[in-house]
Amino acid sequence: MKSIPHKVFVYGTLKPGGHYWPQFCEGKVTTAIPAKIHGELYDLHVGYPGLFIRGDSWVHGYVLTIPRDEHFEQLDVLEGYQPNRAEELNEYARVRVECFDQIGVSLGEVWAYEMTEATFRQTAGTRIEHGDWRVD
């Protein structure tokens, strides 16, 4: 049985050059396209950002194409997400969101990881107004 490629918007440590790129994406992603979504990006002061999908501001990142289910499912583990677990026990939720290319043309719906309210309350995050997490 063949897997259907998964498309996921990443905005922090999973971006090309990010901390988790080598472990979770390198050699497992077939495309990484610069993209953006509407939302609010926060520095959680723990080494990675969090996202709320709301408002009209842009959050910048990449849409990754991940062909194999098992590689996509590893992202759930990294993001502290279990589909059948109570939301307050998840660090992030995996949700569908409309994604756009750099000039604002829709790329359709993709997956993204949105932090839960509980995660935000625990970290006292600071809004990143320009919407771009810097990759060191």
- Would you list the domain boundaries of the chain? 6-127
| Residue type (1 letter), 31 | T
Query: May I ask the CATH architecture of the domain 6-127?
Result: Roll (3.10)
Q: Which of 28, 23, 107, 4 lies closest to 61 in space, CA to CA? A: 107
pLDDT exceeds 70 at position 2: no
* Strand residue runs (E) in 11-57: 31-38, 40-43, 49-52
pLDDT given at position 107: 96
Summarised one tens digit per residue, pLDDT across range 55-70 is 999 999 999 999 999 9
| Least trusted range by pLDDT, from 49-53, 88-92, 99-103, 127-131 | 88-92
From the CB of residue 23, how many other CB atoms can be counted at a distance below 10 Å?
12
Identify the helix (H) or strand (E) that includes residue 18: none
The conformation of residue 77, written as its DSSP 8-state character, comes to H
d(CA 61, CA 11): 4
